[in-house]
C-alpha cells in the first residue's frame, strides 16, 4: 500500500498545491514507520522489528529517511510480520547502546533476544530482502526436487543440510544463526538431490557453488565465516 495522494485546492496565501500535497504524501508514508521511545525495550519481545537507529543531524540518516518510509510501506502492504520503526539514538542513547549502536544510521533486525546488523546497500529492495530472510526460519525445508531446482537457480551459493537429527545438524543451526544475515540455509532429504550429487554418508552439509558442489561431512571441518 503506497501513501495516498490527496488533491488539494489552491487557496490565496497558502502553499502551492504541489508543495502541500508533497508534504502530505511524506506524512502518510511515514505513518508506516513507528517512532520508538524508551518503552520499546520492554514491549518489543513478542514482535520482530526492523529498526533504523538515527541521529537528527546525520546527513546519511536524512538520505535514508525516504527509503525507510518506502520499506515501511512495502512491509505493511505485503503482510510481513516484521514491524518497521526508527529511534533517535541521541535521545535514547542508553537503549541504542544496549543494542550495540556505534554509528548512524544503524539498521538492525531484532528477533527475540537476537539483534542482527544490516550492512548491505541502503536500497529498499536490499533492506526488505534482508528483513524477510532474517525474520524467517533459520533452516528452510525443500520438500521436492522442483523446489530444490527453483532455489538453486536463485542462489549463487546454496547451503543444504541432508539427513536427520544429529550433532552436525546442531552445528549447522548454530552457524545459520550467525550467518543468516548473509545467505539462506536449507534442509532436504537425500531423494530431493539431483542425481549427479553423491554423498559418501549421511548426515552431510552440501554446498552448491559455481555449477558444482562440495560436502562438509565432519564436525572437524570448519564452516566459512562469511559466504564468498
| 151 vs 200: CA distance, rounded Å | 24
Catalytic residue list contains 30 = no
**139: Cα within 13 Å, side-chain hemisphere:** 16
CA distance 107 to 187: 29
Residue 196 appears among annotated catalytic residues: no
Cβ neighbour number for residue 74 with a 10 Å cutoff: 19
**Residue 139, number of CB atoms within 10 A of its CB:** 18
Q: Which of 24, 26, 48, 58 is catalytic?
A: 58
Residue from 33, 36, 61, 96 carrying the catalytic annotation: 61
Q: Where are the alpha helices (DSSP H) in the chain?
A: 17-30, 40-43, 59-77, 93-98, 124-135, 145-154, 167-179
Length of the chain, please? 228
Name the DSSP class of 216.
E
Quote the CA–CA distance of 171 and 56 in Å, as a whole number: 42
Catalytic residues: 58, 61
Amino acid at each position: 500500500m503506497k501513501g495516498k495522494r490527496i488533491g488539494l485546492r489552491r487557496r490565496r496565501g497558502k502553499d502551492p498545491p504541489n508543495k502541500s500535497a508533497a508534504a502530505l504524501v511524506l506524512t502518510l508514508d511515514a505513518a508506516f514507520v513507528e517512532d520508538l521511545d524508551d518503552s520499546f525495550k520492554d514491549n518489543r519481545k513478542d514482535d520482530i522489528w526492523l529498526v533504523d537507529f538515527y541521529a537528527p543531524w546525520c546527513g546519511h540518516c536524512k538520505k535514508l529517511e525516504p527509503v525507510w518510509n518506502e520499506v515501511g510501506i512495502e512491509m505493511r502492504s505485503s503482510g510481513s510480520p516484521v514491524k518497521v520503526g526508527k529511534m533517535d539514538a541521541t535521545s535514547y542513547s542508553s537503549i541504542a547502546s544496549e543494542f550495540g549502536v556505534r554509528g548512524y544510521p544503524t539498521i538492525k533486525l531484532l528477533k527475540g533476544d537476537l539483534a542482527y546488523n544490516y550492512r548491505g546497500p541502503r536500497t529498499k529492495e536490499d533492506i526488505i530482502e534482508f528483513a524477510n530472510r532474517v525474520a524467517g526460519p533459520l533452516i528452510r525445508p525443500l520438500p521436492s526436487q522442483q523446489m530444490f531446482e527453483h532455489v538453486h537457480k536463485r542462489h549463487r551459493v546454496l547451503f543444504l543440510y541432508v539427513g536427520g537429527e544429529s550433532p552436525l545438524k546442531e552445528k549447522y543451526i548454530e552457524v545459520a544463526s550467525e550467518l543468516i544475515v548473509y545467505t539462506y540455509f536449507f534442509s532436504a532429504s537425500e531423494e530431493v538431490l539431483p542425481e549427479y550429487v553423491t554423498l559418501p554418508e549421511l548426515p552431510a552439509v552440501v554446498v552448491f557453488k559455481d555449477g558444482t558442489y562440495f560436502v562438509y561431512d565432519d564436525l572437524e571441518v570448519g564452516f566459512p565465516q562469511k559466504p564468498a
